[in-house]
Amino acid sequence: MNDRMLKKTLVLLVLLLLAPVVSAQETVYTVSAEEWARPHRGIALVTHPGLRAAVAELDAAPDRRLLIRYPGGEAGMLWVAQLRSWLVALGIPSEVIDAEPGAATPENIELVVREKGAL
């Protein structure tokens, strides 16, 4: 094995070892497809444990953003658009809400509160 290949292997190994540390620092709140399929009313959303905790964490620090990770595809895009609309209607400023595909499972949408500059 040459030096260049060894260095690449070591860098990859370090990155793989650090990945769980980085992801372990964020709290992920979930809303399942089953929960979302129930009739929506403001009170149901405000009392949902995951949504409530994410909003409380977001409110606790004005320098934070809410990331919504959703399942890919058309259904996921519709789901995140509906959730974003509800959150804005309930008082969360739209400019602090980000969305990206890539939820861990297609049955859940994930909410993560992050610092403004975090990736």
The one-digit pLDDT tens for each residue of the chain (119 residues) are 566 655 555 444 444 444 443 444 688 999 998 888 877 666 777 788 999 999 999 999 888 999 999 998 999 999 999 999 999 988 899 999 999 999 999 999 999 999 877 65
pTM confidence score: 0.73
The architecture of the domain spanning 26-115 is: 2-Layer Sandwich (3.30)
- How many C-beta atoms surround the C-beta of residue 36 within 10 A? 16
Distances 75 to 33, 72, 84, 111 between C-alpha atoms, Å: 10, 7, 14, 17
